[in-house]
Amino acid sequence: MHGKEQIQQELNELRGEYGEWNFDIPLPCDIWAKGNLRMPQTRLKRIVQVVSNLSLKQISEYRILDLRYSDDMFSIEFALHGAETIELYKELIN
């Protein structure tokens, strides 16, 4: 896993290239995409919980297809739970 300084640097590079994030996504090392606006992540956590409850396998055994919704917050959260994430726009480019 990357250190806090490296994550912050990469986040700043993404912000410079693509602009400000739409959502305040929690990242490792207590870093937030928009600086921690103190907004609850209830919907995000609930979706992960529903997937976990309904799945026959652990989340870490799944591949998640990211259709570029919500600043990747779902793929980031599932990746933090060990899932492999595939971003559709990168697949289309390559």
Low-confidence ranges of the chain (pLDDT < 50): none
Looking at the structure, tell me whether residues 32 and 57 fall in a common domain: no
Cα distance between residue 28 and residue 4, in whole Å:
8
Looking at the structure, tell me whether residues 27 and 17 fall in a common domain: yes
Looking at the structure, tell me whether residues 22 and 45 fall in a common domain: no
pLDDT score of 73:
79
Looking at the structure, tell me whether residues 52 and 27 fall in a common domain: no
Cα distance between residue 36 and residue 10, in whole Å:
17
Do residues 75 and 23 touch, judged by C-beta distance below 8 A?
no
pLDDT digits (tens, 9 = 90+) for 65-78: 877 666 677 888 88
Looking at the structure, tell me whether residues 66 and 92 fall in a common domain: yes
**Structural domain of residue 28, as residue ranges?**
1-38
